[in-house]
Amino acid sequence: MDFLSKVDPELKQGLEVLPVLRLPEDLPMARQFTPPAVDKSDAVLTIERHIASAGESEMLVKIYQPAQRGTDELPALLWIHGGGYVLGHPSGDDALCQQFVEAAGCVVISPDYRLAPDHPYPAAIEDCYAALVWTASSSEELNIDRSRIAVGGASAGGGLAAALALLARDRGGPAICFQMPLYPMIDDRNVTPSSHEITYPPVWNRANNEAAWKLYLGELAHEDITPYAAASRATDLAGLPPIYTCVGQLDPFRDETISYIARLAQAGVDVEFHLYPGGYHAFEVFIPEAEISKRAKNGYIDALARAFNR
Strands 178-182 and 144-154: parallel
pLDDT at 297 over 80: yes
- pLDDT tier for residue 13 given thresholds of 50, 70 and 90: confident
pTM: 0.97
Between 222 and 174, name the one with better pLDDT: 174
Residue 215, pLDDT score = 97
Sorting pLDDT into bands at 50, 70 and 90, what band is 56? confident
Mean pLDDT in residue range 41-52? 93
Note the pLDDT tens digit of each residue in 70-128. Answer: 899 999 999 999 999 999 999 999 999 999 999 999 999 999 999 999 999 999 999 99
Q: Break the chain into its structural domains and give their ranges.
A: 3-308
pLDDT at 272: 98
What pLDDT is attached to residue 1? 66
What integer pLDDT is reported at residue 37 of this predicted model?
A: 80
Percent of the chain beyond pLDDT 90? 89
- pLDDT for 154 beyond 70: yes
pLDDT band of 224, cuts 50, 70, 90:
confident
Name the residue with higher pLDDT: 56 or 226: 226
Dihedral sign, CA of 20, 24, 28, 32?
positive
Is pLDDT of 196 > 90?
yes
The average confidence (pLDDT) of the chain is: 95
Catalytic residues: 155, 251, 281
Quick: pLDDT tens for 252-286: 999 999 999 999 999 999 999 999 999 999 999 99
Pick the CATH number of 3-308 from 3.40.50.1820, 1.10.1040.10, 3.40.605.10, 3.30.300.180: 3.40.50.1820
CA distance to 31, 44, 198, 296, per residue, from 302 (Å): 32, 18, 29, 10
